[in-house]
Chain A
């Protein structure tokens, strides 16, 4: 069945960087848009970014534009999120999602703190 597994989260200092990865299995990864969605502790959902099947179309939320970069490697069934200039407001559980949420990973926690 469809499975998404995120990795790469952790504790980082303000201004630092992290690269999140999401490995997909159980479906033809190269055929689908993929998304990153985050959830700050105790808060609601925020769509961070999506990328089209070919990588040609990309969207970023205003809150991360210019700091985050989404990419994918279809040969490796992998989705990435490069996060730079991190601030406390980026502390959240980051989910990888298939298209508009047909399937979700369990999330990887990013904590930005000094």
Chain B
């Protein structure tokens, strides 16, 4: 189980935002890597991968997005929210049964 919080977020442009993801088990695989991912699904679009293995930004993802965490506590941070960041954010783990969090809807104030 992947528990995300909050489930919704309303942020003024230029302000920071933070989303928490708490898995019910360790996400460290036998290879030593931690398989925790973050996605953004903009309205009417397929999801897009933002962060892989906790903290690695996919090529082309703005550096205002950052991921951190370990064990059973992970966080996605947006340093300065922009209008284009609106959508639903999901965390996902791929250890054992692949599971997504419930999603966090981000809107602009």
- In the assembled complex, the CB of A16 is this many whole angstroms from the nearest CB of chain B, namely 25
We find that the number of chain A residues with CB closer than 8 angstroms to chain B is: 17
Known: A45-B90, A106-B46. A101 touches B39 (CB 8 A): yes
Which among B13-21, B69-77, B93-101 touches the partner chain? B93-101
Cβ contacts A83-114/B at 8 Å (1 or 0 each): 00000000000010000111011110000000
Which chain A residues lie closer than 8 Å to B39 at the CB level?
45, 101
- Please pick, from B37, B97, B99, B103, the residue contacting A101 in the complex, using a CB distance under 8 A: B37
- Please pick, from B35, B48, B97, B102, the residue contacting A104 in the complex, using a CB distance under 8 A: B48
Interface residues on B, range: 20 to 34
Q: Flag whether B58 is at the interface (Cβ < 8 A).
A: yes
- In the assembled complex, the CB of B7 is this many whole angstroms from the nearest CB of chain A, namely 11
For B88, give the chain A residue with the smallest CB separation. Answer: A44
Q: Flag whether A68 is at the interface (Cβ < 8 A).
A: no
Which chain B residues lie closer than 8 Å to A61 at the CB level?
97-98
Known: A44-B102, A44-B103, A47-B92. A100 touches B49 (CB 8 A): yes
Residues of A at the B interface (CB closer than 8 Å) are 37, 44-47, 50, 59, 61-62, 95, 100-102, 104-107
Known: A45-B41, A45-B92, A47-B99. 10 other contacts (CB 8 A): A44-B103, A45-B90, A61-B98, A100-B35, A100-B49, A101-B92, A102-B49, A104-B47, A104-B48, A105-B46
